[in-house]
Each structure stands twice: as structure tokens, then as C-alpha cells.
Structure 1
């Protein structure tokens, strides 16, 4: 007799429960997570709290390419820019992610390191954000790193939108640390008009007519990009990570989010940080990481084994979030 979907779901939940970190391991991980020197020992070539300058690793944006992609963003809700970031820096960030993962951590913990907070602060990227999000924009504290297995059938996150009613006040940035190809599951999305059609149907809980469904399939945009590129989309675009079609290399990437200065941010996005101010302190970085981990198990169920640890770190670092929330914006 075949198991029902409900029985399979319960079995999967039980397996995930059994995979939780044992108490001794959780205590050790908790202490290690809160110790910046432990992270420095793990990644000696990474920095934490050193306010490193962008310098020779500054991003490069061609004016013509920027203007073209800003028009695309205004028209279709997304943009794609190749060859933005220094290859040496991207290689270093990839090695940080690999070291974090090899030590048994979810790869999002790479965000304890400075590189992952400074990468969008170079003058060229900051100017692009000023033009597309608005002067005095803020970064929210929703961050993530992705590791999609190499091998047929592995896939990124399922189709979703980020903040449906955000309009032009929100922009998500996605930076590949390895080549993102059709074979290893690059990003896919529906441009603005098609995304609105799909989102409305989902919200109204109605099926799409077969003709509309076939038309929307033809509007899907694939975004294969080499490592060090920069792509992004507005909050109402439906997007997803593709399925691996046989690529053997894993896909590594990171995601950041930005808000217009006067826009109302959701509770999940808070606290907002000023990209013109100092880098977020270590404890706030941990808060941002585990805040996202608690939410994103819906996309990556295997992370459920870390939830008790995430809850402890979240409670321990909540004071860092409160301190930022009460602080006035930097001038």
C-alpha cells in the first residue's frame, strides 16, 4: 500500500526532527557562533569589523550598460549587468562560503565577514542604487547565501515574489560567486506585466486559462550570468532558481535587499541599516543571518536541523537589532 501525501509529509518531518543537533553540539555551535575570533580562525583570509576599503576591488559599471539596464528595470522590473565585481574578490568570497560550509554551518553564516556587507558599497554600485531605489536609500537586514548542489535534479528556491506591493521602493540584488548557467540552475523570472498576472491569479485563487498559461510560459526569462555579475529585480517579480539540467558544479550566490529612504519596511526587513555608515556590528550580522534562517526553512527544509540553534542566537542578539532600531540615521 502506497503512503499518502500526508503520511509522507509526517515522515519527512520526523526525519528532520531526528536530524536536529544534539544538545552538546548545539551548545558548542552556539558558543562558536558568538565568538568572532573563532570565525577568524576558520577563515584567516576573511575580515570581521575591519572597515576594509574597496580600493582596487571597486566594482566597475559601464555607463552605457547601466543606462540600458536602468531602462529595463523601469520597463520590465529586472536588470542584468555582467563583469561588475573584481574576480579576485569574488574568488575570495567563494572560498569563504566553502570554508563555512565545510565546517558544518549553513552557508548564510558567511555574512559574518566584512566582504558580504561591503560588496554593495562601492561607489559604482551605490550610484546605481541611488538612481534606482532613491537618494538616501537603506539596506534591510534580510541577507542570504545560496549553495545549490551540482547534479541533475538539484534546484534553487521555488517561484515566489519578495514584496508584492513595494513598487519602485524595493530592489533585490543577486550576486553569483560561481557561474550561473542554464545547466546548473540559473535564476529565472517573469517580467513585470506577466508577474502581475500570475500574482493576481494566485491572490484570487483562480486558475489561469490554458491560452494564458502557454503565453506566460513563453515570457519566462532565463538569467545565466558569469561569476561576479550583478542582477536584481523589484519586489513584485515572480522569480525562482532553475533546476540543474546536468551541470556538475554547484551554484553559489548571495542576496541583498534595499529600500527607499521613506518607504515603510516590513517587520521582517527591520532593522534597516544606512550603507553610508559603519559596517553592521558582529552581533547584528548574526541577528540578520538567523532571522533569515528561521524564515527560509520553507525554501530549504534541510535547514530545520539548525532551527533550535537559530532561535537561541536570535534571542541572544535581539539587543543588537533593538539598538539599531533606536539609533538615528547617519548623516
Structure 2
């Protein structure tokens, strides 16, 4: 409680990405387009999976969770960053800064755990478990576990950070509140506490990344028994997935294991996993799949047909009723 009583800073001033107004305009346009595409692509995936019975499988259950996390992960930092690019003075209150820090670690850690679960599901670990008991029950338990793990990790990071005394300065050389730039503003020696906080995130990221590498290595080794065409398709899928994993895990590991890097490099790396990575995820993981394309086309045809019957919002109701009737027939 003593540390909390010493907290005098009521707001932080962010230096943003750059002070060049030309770059600010270019960044605001580019990141606005990227953010909109992220929202549209991931929302399309969630709606398609929810309303398509053929996609009610463990794999698509986790992919819908991934889309939800990507939307939340981007929304934690991008809107505030876009606002900062348009304003001369970029400020954030202490409470909002801590809230942003908590949310960022929650969704980032949840995505790390989810990507790890999905990788081992491809290897067959989860498939074995699903064959022994109820699929829905196992999926829900795994989803609960990854969200619980993300919450515990985020609470630990937030608690350790908020306990430190902040009496000035209050300038963050970043475009969002994250642990490394925030704890540099503490007005006392926090080397040990800082190492504990940073190593916590670094250990989670590095451990899960090594687990992912192991999983994909086993998959690639097992491909030797497949046909040439099967190997080609599997390699294409795994390489695309691993590229996304690298874009997401790489910046996390970089930020939390090389703490002595320059702030400019930190900003460039941070943009990758807060802005860039969530945008291609829908295309790489889901929208390229034929069953998803077919489901989207089917839903669109239903919507058009229902729209010709009514114009007062009964289109969605028709889809829901259709799904209910299909379930009853089954």
C-alpha cells in the first residue's frame, strides 16, 4: 500500500510513433485501413462459423476464438493510436493506461495459448482427447483454460506494475502502455522487480514458441509417409501458419528478452503484433478453406433470399429458424 500511496502521476504523455506530420498522416490512413480489414475479416469468420452447422467442429471453434481475440487485441491499441496520430498532445490517464496494459496482456497471452493449442490439435493430441469424450466439453474446457491462463498472467503483470511508485516523469516513448516503457518511469530502483515482470512475459512467449516449433517439426517429419501432393498441401498450410506464429511470437520474444534495444526499434516491432499480425489471420487460417468459402456463399444466398421476402430485419431471423429446423431434422 505504501507504493500505491506514493503514486503521484495522474496521466501519461505518449510520444506516439513519430513526430513527423507527413508520416502521421500516412500511418493514420494505412493503419485505419488495416484495422477496418481486421474487424471485417474476423467478424465475417465469427458470423460464418456461428451460423454454419457444417463448421461446428473443434477446429473452427478455436478459429472463432482466434478471430475474437484478434478483434479485441487490435482494439486495445489501434483506436487510441489512430486518435494520437491526429492530436498534437497525446495523453492517457493513469487508470486507462493500466487498463490498456491489462487488456493487452490478457488478449496477447490468450492468443499465445490458443495458437499453441491449435498447433498440438493439428499434431493430434487434442484429437485423441476428443475421441475419448464429448467434443464440446473438451473444447470448452480448453477455451476456459486459455482464458484463465491469460487472466492470471495479466493480473500478475498488472499487479506488479501498479505497485511501483510513479512520481515523474510521465512521458512514454511509445504509442501504447506496455510494461517495458511504463516501468522505466518508476522513480526508484526497480531492477529486480523489472526483471521479474519482463521475464514473466518473456518466459511465457518463449516456452510456447518452442512448443509450437516442436509441434510443427513433428508434423513435418511425419509428412515423409505422405504422398507428394499431400506433402505439398501440408507444407503450404504449415508454412503459412508458422509465418503468422513467427510474426506474433517474434515481436513478443524480442520486446521481453532484449530489453536494452532502442525505443524506435521497439515501436517498429510492436506495430507487427498489435496492428499487422491480426489482419492476415482470417485469410491464412480460415478464408482460404473451401468449406468456409462454401459456407459464406450459402449464408449470402440465404440472406439475399430472405431480403426479397422482407425488408424489416427478418433476414437474420430466417437464417436462425432455418438452422433450428435443420437441427430438428437431425
Which structure is larger by alpha-carbon Rg, 1 or 2?
A: 2
Task: Report the TM-score when normalising by structure 1.
Answer: 0.23
Greater helix percent: which structure?
Answer: 2
Higher strand share: 1
TM-score (norm. length: structure 2): 0.23
